[in-house]
Amino acid sequence: MTQHGIEFETEAEAGAARLAELFDGAVVAVLTGAGMSTDSGIPDYRGDGMKPRRQPMTIAQFLESADHRRRYWAGSSTGWSRMVSAEPNEAHRALAVLEDQGLVSGVATQNVDGLHRAAGSRNVIELHGHLRTASCVACGRWEDRARLEARIHRDNPWLPTEIEDVFINPDGDAEVHRLDEFVPPACAFCGGPLKPDVVFFGELTRPETARAAERLVDEADAVLVAGSSLVVNTGRRFVHRARRQGKPIAIVNRTETAADHEVGLVVRAGLTETLTALERRLRLR
């Protein structure tokens, strides 16, 4: 493919060139979604379309029904081994390098997998929380998730410790078919229900987290969206904020997003290939 008279071998390389031109001299705030982690073996919600492949549980379902909590914890504990074994991919590492170089100011992520932190990014805002801890909905005390998982597997020794062919959501929730046998976890202090420290569908992002993400956009010169369909408002609101401020905005995603028509540049290519090529271009300037 040709761009400005220059031949590029791939769409990712051509996209990286366009991104480098757009972000020339800018400090960039980055918003990432589930597509960021697919190359780390964690599926996204929508695959090739805008409709979720498997409907995630809502906060209303989780809080109102013991059966729903049983189903969630059975699935989440089944998928836990794949989540904790996932490693950052080169796209995560490219953003960490760009932050080290002062070209990226920080990452606001919709992901709960912790891979940005594992890759070395320092300013990470986890819009939808994380899987590192779980908290009691009755007394508010929290428990380390790894310790909690050891407790769950002790009470449910039949749970698999490794899964390969079972589909999981980006929050680690896997399909489970032996729900009647599952013993759900309870708070070690008061016996109340435990909830992972993630933002469920229908639940609001914490105000302090939203404010931190807004500051990230406000203090940046430009915004890059990577691997998000932007269907969920927690991501799209920051695109709108940057637009109101007249800042350059670019999207990198393999498939269509809900905000393609609202931004100046859309790159239809893989994140790993595009962001590593972008990192090389910006680093050499």
Residues 6+ apart with CB under 8 A from 97: 120, 279, 283
Joined together, the tokens standing for residue 129 give 């929380």
> What are the φ/ψ torsions at residue 249 (nearest 5 degrees)?
-135, 135
User: Catalytic site residue 128?
Assistant: yes
Residues 6+ apart with CB under 8 A from 123: 99, 105, 106, 107, 216
Indicate which residue of 116, 128, 240, 261 is catalytic.
128
> What are the φ/ψ torsions at residue 32 (nearest 5 degrees)?
-120, 150
H-assigned helices in the chain: 11-22, 59-64, 66-85, 90-100, 115-119, 145-155, 207-219, 233-244, 271-283
Active-site amino acid positions: 128
